[in-house]
Amino acid sequence: MANQSLNLLRRSASTDTPPVTGGQTIEVAKLIDVSKCIGCKACQSACLEWNNLREEVGVNVGVYDNPHDLTPNSWTLMRFAEWDNPDTGNFEWLIRKDGCMHCQDPGCLKACPAPGAIVQYTNGIVDFVHENCIGCAYCVKGCPFNIPRISKVDHKAYKCSLCSDRVAVGQGPACAKACPTAAIMFGTKEDMKKQAEKRIVDLKSRGYANAGLYDPAGVGGTHVMYVLHHNDKPEIYAGLPHEPKISPLVAAWKGTGKVLALGALAFAALGAFFHHTVVGPNKVSEHDEENAAELAEEGKSSKTEARPV
Amino acid sequence: MIGELSRRQFLRTAGAGVAGTTLGAMGFGGAEQALAQSVRPFKLAKTTETRNTCPYCSVACGILMYGVGDGSANNKQAIMHIEGDPDHPVNRGTLCPKGAALLDFVHSDTRLKYPMHRKPGSDKFERVTWEFALERIARLMKDDRDKNFVAKSKDGVTVNRWTTVGFLAASATTNETATLTYKVVRSAGIVAFDNQARV
């Protein structure tokens, strides 16, 4: 195998998961400290460069967001939000690096019907395997953060891989390496939580009483976490969901719906088996044969009658 | 072949297919080598790592350039990736958006690779030798200095100024180069001057 440090935890549309070998894997996480971000977009540059992607030159509509939204090529995007703080009267410029959150309970993986198109490693990274992708865009529906984008070129889904290829050889993601203010940190999830704790204490001492860590429990926690100065209202950071949850439609379709369908399949198979053993297959009796011969004769004669010469 | 398939045989085959799919859906599929397929190979394996300095601004961040090709006669080396040098004290591996996109700068068609000269009255730049360029620059500077050098101000104070020429020097230089540049430029009397030593 190409690497030893990545083991599969889950695989889309399949119940068989290769057994985890090589002991316990450490969960990794990327910590994005919004309070330290200067919005320089080095992360965007580094991401495009590392992943051999290039973005079309776009149009400026008067905001700093460039491109305007995530695309199949831009897996990460700085979103610039302006917010009037009613408590202090300050005008705040909130810059959030958007991209895949690598949920512990990934909605995209749950929704995906293509076996092995979306995988989750034991270290927490959720990765798209494009060879298996059928381009149905169910992952877009399944994602509580609206991250995956479907390419118009090959009709497959694309998103941040948390640089799984770099992490596999013991390096951090390209964006985290480039970040000049160390607003993006990468390490074990535990270490990142400790790092966040320190930052939150610092932010609180500077008057941000609601500073906190964004690691939403609704998706089982994420492997990309934010330090927010206003953790009580994440929605002011360009619409970061307050309590992200996988859509109930996906849960019903892929949860109960799937169990019921499998039950129906099993019932049909069992029924067919018992029908075969108890009733047995249809047998053609002599009477049937005679009947058939008669009918055939009738058919022939009626045909000739119907067609006057 | 298909003509010889009876109705019963057809149903039997189809049934076996359905059963197989159902078993797969219930979790009896073979454990595939899914992992080997899913992780993209690390693209820097078997590349040559070369240290250099980012050419953009005077912060002069250290960079690592990754090259492919072994440099043999029929396999020219080419830079395929650039990232920050973790061992460099200035940036410790980080880069700005321009530095992080250096790869396209290196491979840009419009990148300046050698001295270019636009002759008086011409509308295009032409490639010239370093010898020609340096000599021409030196000649023009000397002439201009002889004409416009101000040794003393109106009040008779010695100023030794040369204000008609400006000097913009490189960012990716060593301390020694920067010191020498500074000495040459200032001793000539040039006032308008910028280089990395400013930082």
Structure tokens that stand for B73 in this block: 């006669």
CATH of residue A160's domain is 3.30.70.20
Chain B residues close to A131, C-beta within 8 Å:
37
Q: Which pLDDT score is estimated for A2?
A: 35
Nearest to B84 among A41, A129, A178 (CB): A178
Cα Rg of chain B, angstroms: 33
* CA pair distance A88, A85, nearest whole angstrom: 6
> A286 lies in a domain?
yes
> pLDDT band for position A309 (50/70/90)?
low
Residue B170 has a pLDDT of 78
3-state secondary structure of A200: helix
Question: Do A18 and A149 sit in the same domain of this protein?
Answer: yes
- Which amino acid is it at A157? A
Is the pTM of the predicted complex or chain greater than 0.95?
A: no
Sign of dihedral through CA atoms B103, B106, B107, B109? Answer: positive
**Helix (H/G/I), strand (E/B), else coil: A224:** strand
B111 has pLDDT over 50? yes
Q: Which of A230-239, A268-277, B5-14, B161-170 has the lowest mean pLDDT?
A: B5-14
Residue B162 and residue B147: Cα distance in Å, rounded? Answer: 10
Which residue among A245, A269, A292 closes a domain?
A245
Distance of alpha carbon A277 from alpha carbon A265, whole angstroms? 19
**Are A94 and A85 a contacting pair, CB within 8 Å?**
no
User: What percent of chain A lies above the pLDDT cut of 90?
Assistant: 76
Q: Is the pLDDT confidence value at A65 over 50?
A: yes
Distance CA A241, CA A247 (A): 13
* Alpha carbon distance B164, B186 (integer Å): 14
The helix/strand/coil state of B77 is coil
Containing A302, the helix (H) or strand (E) segment is: helix A286-306
Nearest Cα neighbor of A107 from A233, A255, A239, A234 is: A255
- For B35, the closest of A1, A16, A115 (CB atoms) is A1
What is the band of A25 on the pLDDT scale with cuts at 50, 70, 90?
confident
Phi and psi dihedrals of A233, rounded to 5? -135, 75
* Maximal C-alpha separation, chain A: 107
Do you find a cis peptide bond into A67, omega within 30 degrees of 0? yes
The pLDDT value recorded for residue B19 is 67
Same domain, yes or no, for A192 and A74? yes
Place of tokens 């000097």: B167
Q: Assess if residue A37 is contained within a domain.
A: yes
Q: Which residues pair with B81 in a beta bridge?
A: B66
> How does the average pLDDT of chain A come out, rounded?
91
**Residue that finishes a domain, picked among B75, B106, B137:** B106
**Which of A7, A45, A165 is the closest to B101 by Cβ?**
A45
For position B20, what pLDDT does the model report? 61
Give the Cα separation of A64 and A164 in Å (integer): 29
Q: Is the pLDDT of residue A262 over 70?
A: yes
Q: To the nearest whole angstrom, how far is the Cα of A243 from the nearest Cα of chain B?
A: 30
Q: What's the pLDDT score for residue A22?
A: 59
3-state secondary structure at position A128: strand
How confident is the model at residue B15, as a pLDDT? 73
Nearest-CA residue of chain A relative to B97?
Answer: A42
pLDDT digit string, tens, across residues A81-127: 999 999 999 999 999 999 999 999 999 999 999 999 999 999 999 99
**Cβ-defined contact of B97 to A45 (cutoff 8 Å):** yes
Interfacial A residues in 231-270 facing B (CB < 8 Å): 262, 265-266, 269
Query: Is the Cβ pair A42, B100 closer than 8 Å?
Result: yes
Contact A49 B34 (CB under 8 A): no
My answer on whether A201 and A301 are in the same domain is: no
Residue B160 inside a domain? The answer is yes
Neighbour tally for B150: CB within 10 Å: 15
Instruction: Report the pLDDT averaged over residues B31-47.
Output: 72
Q: Please indicate, yes or no, whether residues A47 and A129 belong to a single structural domain of this protein.
A: yes
With bands split at pLDDT 50, 70 and 90, how would you rate the model's confidence at B70? confident
**pLDDT score, position B32:** 45
- Number of domains within chain B: 3
Residues of A in contact with B97 (CB under 8 A): 40-42, 44-45
Looking at the structure, tell me whether residues A129 and A262 fall in a common domain.
no
pLDDT greater than 70 at residue A246? yes
> Do strands A91-99 and A28-33 pair parallel, antiparallel, or not at all (unpaired)?
unpaired
Q: Are residues B121 and B194 in the same domain?
A: yes
CA B79 – CA B67 distance, rounded (Å): 4
Residue A5's pLDDT is what? Answer: 60
The predicted model gives B43-71 an average pLDDT of 91
How many structural domains does chain A have? 2
Note down the domain range covering A67. 8-245
A1 in a structural domain: no
CA distance B83 to A121: 26
Asked if residue A261 and residue A241 are part of one domain, the reply reads no
Residue B87 is part of which domain span?
48-106
| Interface touch B43/A15, C-beta < 8 Å | no
ipTM exceeds 0.85, yes or no: no
Residue B111 within a domain: no
Q: Is the pLDDT of residue A307 over 70?
A: no
For the stretch A170-214, pLDDT in tens is 999 999 999 999 999 999 999 999 999 999 999 999 999 999 999
**Is residue B43 a part of any domain in this protein?**
no
Same domain, B88 and B134: no
- pLDDT tens per residue, range A189-201: 999 999 999 999 9
Q: Is the dihedral of CA B104, B108, B113, B118 positive or negative?
A: negative
**pLDDT at residue A35 greater than cutoff 70:** yes
The reported pLDDT for the residue numbered A3 is 41
